[in-house]
Structure 1
């Protein structure tokens, strides 16, 4: 039981950082925060994503490219141009690595005001921290596994952030329902998003990319939305003024 609790704790904690910091903040500038707060969430992302840490800068650039080129050959992760989910995620990894290592030339419009902490990204995304987190996970499993099937949770734990990406970028472009008529294959994967903290309302997100609330219908509850409102109320982040045009509405 301890292993299952541990797995889902990491699932939701790492997913929170991905949707709050990497996605809504870094990619879409849906709200603002100080440089100190930005660094705090960098470190929190490293702790919660562990062995699968993603650079917020590289994530943001790649996600902006996804919105600009959805369902075309330039899309970093499109089911329309991949044989299966593994093929898609391998292509995504190649593109991510090029952006993260700064060996791929990126259009300036995709890099505007993205959070950037090169020294930390170089450390957190390197081999030895990934090995350290992997050993920590393995050690926890070694001591607390109570049934052989629980070992099956270790591989997705080690690849947690890419697993989250695969669920949305593959399945939410193939299955679900459409609330908005869009020139792409984005769909809302599940009516009540208990699994992905609002990320599965992908059709809504493509329609309103810079919205701080991914839910639209009465049943589409976005658990991150009230957290964003709370953090705005206590001035950890700065929410946009009502009616203000979002900074990256095109993404």
Structure 2
């Protein structure tokens, strides 16, 4: 199924039946009032939160979406199985959607942008849109060729169902409710916060042409994913905490797995990227220039290039492409009279 270029969702586009299981998982957490909360169940909850958060960050995201490291086919399947035990759809769907997000981050075509469709939609609402039910196989041909991953896609909830049954066998009803449901909901919203909160709150070290931000609190609860501006500056890096003090637990775990020979070829950002000295691509220059031009859109005249440069230095992190951004913004503003107001994205 090919993706609809529009990310705006009308009420009739929401697949209401598909929201029911999601809501039931949340409501099921309340049944702990009757099942009780036991220490084995709490231990399961904590353990499954971190295990599945790692599967989401290392599997869904860094491996299947960005190929930030290499591994064998057996561990690839294990990562996919563990990731899907979080009940966040299949690895093929997840990675295809995420690759689309990076191509169009915070533009009108982004599948989950707080700038475009609001915080709540970017956090969770987009998942239930009818035109997001499928995915574009052309965005993930490298992994769609594996029959075992296609099988997991076909039975995408099987890993979560098996894990839920295992939790019940280990710790009874508290194991199912506290161990499985509580940890599932926590992993849900930890993951979703990267789509929403990490594009709203935090700092920006790099010019990325979008609203991605670094957020320490999110990095701690998502094993390093909160260094989101770093990630958008160099998406294929296995390490997202670029500074020594930027805690990235997923990367530490990957380094250990590399020592054990389970993963290999962990990609790292070049020094020029770390220092913010890499020149930006045309797409990012254009997006950033539109942000800059939008600040002057209400003026009845085209601002001077000096004014644009002053504003650019105030708005954006240091980049060797600042001249290109200002030139493009100046060009956009000169065309404004013919094409109407300049859109920020």
Does TM, normalized by the shorter one, top 0.5?
yes
Distance between the aligned counterparts of 1:107 and 1:10, measured in 2?
A: 30
Partner residue in 1 for 2:105: 70
Distance between the aligned counterparts of 2:194 and 2:268, measured in 1?
A: 29
Partner residue in 2 for 1:224: 250
Distance between the aligned counterparts of 1:164 and 1:36, measured in 2?
A: 27
Change (3 A) 1:15 1:192: closer
Q: CA deviation at 1:202?
A: 0.5
Distance between the aligned counterparts of 1:17 and 1:92, measured in 2?
A: 20
Whether 2:124 is the aligned partner of 1:98: answer no
Contact 1:193–1:221 (Cα < 8 Å) also in 2? yes
Partner residue in 1 for 2:76: 38
Give the TM-score of the pair, scaled to structure 1.
0.76
Q: CA deviation at 1:68?
A: 0.5
Contact 2:101–2:112 (Cα < 8 Å) also in 1? yes
Secondary structure, aligned partner of 2:251: helix
Contact 2:230–2:241 (Cα < 8 Å) also in 1? yes
Change (3 A) 1:26 1:136: same
Partner residue in 1 for 2:214: 188
What is the aligned counterpart of 1:201 among 209, 227, 243? Answer: 227
Partner residue in 2 for 1:120: 152
Q: CA deviation at 1:88?
A: 4.4
Partner residue in 2 for 1:16: 54
Change (3 A) 1:113 1:154: closer
Whether 2:98 is the aligned partner of 1:60: answer no
Q: CA deviation at 1:87?
A: 6.3
Partner residue in 1 for 2:45: 7
Bigger proportion of residues as helix: 2
Change (3 A) 1:229 1:61: same
Contact 1:191–1:219 (Cα < 8 Å) also in 2? no
Distance between the aligned counterparts of 2:53 and 2:232, measured in 1?
A: 19
Whether 2:111 is the aligned partner of 1:111: answer no
Give the greater-gyration-radius structure (CA). 2
Post-superposition Cα deviations, 1:152-199, rounded to whole Å, max 9, x if no partner, equal x97653445532331111110000111222211100121683211000
Q: How many residues align?
A: 229
Change (3 A) 1:6 1:37: closer
Change (3 A) 1:87 1:176: closer
Contact 1:192–1:221 (Cα < 8 Å) also in 2? no
- Give the number of the structure with larger relative contact order, counting CA–CA contacts within 8 Å between residues 6 or more apart: 1
Q: CA deviation at 1:200?
A: 0.6
The alignment's C-alpha RMSD in Å is 3.3
Contact 2:68–2:267 (Cα < 8 Å) also in 1? no
Change (3 A) 1:2 1:32: same
Distance between the aligned counterparts of 2:83 and 2:218, measured in 1?
A: 25
Partner residue in 1 for 2:290: none
Give the TM-score of the pair, scaled to structure 2.
0.57
Distance between the aligned counterparts of 1:33 and 1:198, measured in 2?
A: 20
